Structure 1
């Protein structure tokens, strides 16, 4: 009797050991297969698995796979951005660098009259300033695209940003005898970063000065709505074609009417990126009587948190 009982216990233990061996062997093979799918970038399918440890393991492997794919995608995107930056920089810097080399070669000529020498020195200065502006703008553009630059918005008066922008372009406007006028501009608290907003307005005003005829006017206005306020920059220049109004804020885009003029197609794109960081946006439309009306929309002043 005892012998029979002993053999029954041994048989039960052996059966249990065999069952656990098969069970964990299946689990091992399933885990090995899922890891192989992760390494070969094949999607893990766990829809046919029963509830339990294997299903939970498959779900976790799937999460690991999705995270790895996301990181791989980000790395590939950053790689493409670096390649694009190098291509953009070489394209944008090619002409001014060629000009710099030409002017240096001319300045090295001993027989060059003093008057001509001064002319070439001035041209050389302008080209080096352009190269400096281009490189700074390109790197700023990439940092904005990647979200590296941290914005600190606050409730601030928009007039401060307008004053900074007008001061920056006043000399260029004065040379063309272009008047910059403010209409309906008053102290208005908006949610923004005054220095970055001033950079947007500088780009808009510089374009207005560049593409407007001498003795014309540029008007800066303000319209307040329920949640947003609109800052308008209106000029009497060549305007923007209707089929290009949605394109002018794209990277390196230059309209058909201005491609023969000096420019890089960076300013409006940078302005768009800055506006988006401030939770705002930019638009353009024809101005009454000719010219363009660029509008910057910014959020109205946010209510401060209640005191505890």
Structure 2
């Protein structure tokens, strides 16, 4: 991990590097200048001493011997102390006070200027960081309040922006989860309302039939008539609950489909068997067309359930004299089972909603079922990696197609 990936940190580090280089240069320059000043002070001092002694008539040989001497004696130190010169005396100041003061003043001003620059740049850098942190804190506060319309700074290098990116991704995940929970709550609310609506009618009818039976105990014909109606209402409630349970099991993935080779002709015959009496009483035809040796790898019980729901839907939405066809086709890639009718068709505004649970057409002329047959059929087909599609033209009829991949 490279801390210099972030642009602001990299810029501040570059400034410190340049600033440090300048300080090192000034330190070397100051040392060199001080050495030069010290040399000049010593040379000037020696020149002054030599001039004074020669003016007083001291022999040159004595002066040369004195300047070459390196031995320090107590009498010499005592003399220097008496005249105010000791080891603590700044030699360069005594020789060149004005020049030394100018150099020290120059270095002092440079030091103050560099310190001011360092403090200013550091304050500017920290201020930018503070604004960035404040902006991030405000955005996180909005996330906590449920407002996900803003985004943290991102798409820049550096550990801080990577953290912002992760926080932003976490916020989006929370937003998606909140949306899913909201939709789930709305769906649950709507489902409970639909279930209540579907149960209300048969329960009300059953209550009325039981009340009539209670008051007509002496009339066998009335008892028989309303007992049959009560049984039909109970059967409707039972079918409704069983369908709900099947859909719930499919949603929970608690059903394991057992795929086995199944003869499609036999499957279609079993799926339509329970509807033949109803079709005959309503003057409708149930026809089956397809090769008798065609097979489909599927769970026969659940696939028959899906096919039966499609046939039932066709019977509910066709009038007397209509024909309902169950056909099947085998290709090298897919096996398709089609349920077609020549009824009134599905209005364009309804066709995209027919697989939604409890959906009921807004067209008054349409027969109103409980709105679970088609969703159940779709769940069964898709649970076996198939596709359930629909084509319909108002006034011409509807065709539902179950498509499965042909497996060896």
Instruction: Please indicate the TM-score interval, normalised by the length of the shorter structure.
Output: 0.7 to 0.9
Rate the CA distance shift 1:271–1:50 in 2: closer, same or farther, 3 A: closer
Unmatched segments (≥5 aa) in structure 1? 1-14, 304-308
Rate the CA distance shift 1:98–1:203 in 2: closer, same or farther, 3 A: same
* Match in the other structure for 1:97: 203
Choose 1 or 2 for highest CA Rg.
2
Q: 1:108 pairs with 211, 214, 239, which one? A: 214
| Cα distance in 1, alignment partners of residues 337 and 331 from structure 2 | 11
Q: 2:320 pairs with 213, 227, 230, which one? A: 213
Q: Is the 8 A contact 1:153 1:191 kept in 2?
A: no
Using the TM superposition, give the Cα deviation of residue 170 of structure 1 relative to its aligned residue in structure 2, in angstroms.
3.9
Q: 2:351 pairs with 246, 249, 256, which one? A: 246
Using the TM superposition, give the Cα deviation of residue 270 of structure 1 relative to its aligned residue in structure 2, in angstroms.
3.0
* Match in the other structure for 2:292: 186
| Cα distance in 2, alignment partners of residues 121 and 111 from structure 1 | 11
| Cα distance in 1, alignment partners of residues 136 and 354 from structure 2 | 50
| Cα distance in 1, alignment partners of residues 228 and 374 from structure 2 | 27
1:176-205 Cα shifts (integer Å, max 9, x gaps): 575544322333344543333212211222
| Cα distance in 2, alignment partners of residues 78 and 255 from structure 1 | 24
The structure with higher relative contact order (CA 8 Å, sep 6+) is 1
User: Scaled by the length of structure 1, what TM-score is found?
Assistant: 0.72
Q: Is the 8 A contact 1:228 1:300 kept in 2?
A: yes
Secondary structure in 2 matching 1:220:
strand
Q: Is the 8 A contact 1:189 1:301 kept in 2?
A: no
* Match in the other structure for 1:263: 369
CA RMSD of aligned residues (A): 4.1
1:4-47 Cα shifts (integer Å, max 9, x gaps): xxxxxxxxxxx9xx99xx69x95976775554343133433223
**Correspondences of 1:48-87 after superposition (within 5 Å):** 50-87=156-193
Using the TM superposition, give the Cα deviation of residue 266 of structure 1 relative to its aligned residue in structure 2, in angstroms.
3.0
User: Scaled by the length of structure 2, what TM-score is found?
Assistant: 0.57
Secondary structure in 2 matching 1:38:
helix
Unmatched segments (≥5 aa) in structure 2? 1-118
| Cα distance in 2, alignment partners of residues 77 and 263 from structure 1 | 25
Secondary structure in 1 matching 2:275:
helix
* Match in the other structure for 1:117: 223
| Cα distance in 1, alignment partners of residues 156 and 193 from structure 2 | 52
Secondary structure in 2 matching 1:82:
helix
| Cα distance in 2, alignment partners of residues 271 and 107 from structure 1 | 38
| Cα distance in 2, alignment partners of residues 242 and 44 from structure 1 | 43
* Match in the other structure for 2:389: 282
Rate the CA distance shift 1:300–1:274 in 2: closer, same or farther, 3 A: same
Q: 2:403 pairs with 283, 298, 302, which one? A: 298
Rate the CA distance shift 1:104–1:31 in 2: closer, same or farther, 3 A: same
Q: Is the 8 A contact 1:190 1:298 kept in 2?
A: no
* Match in the other structure for 1:229: 335
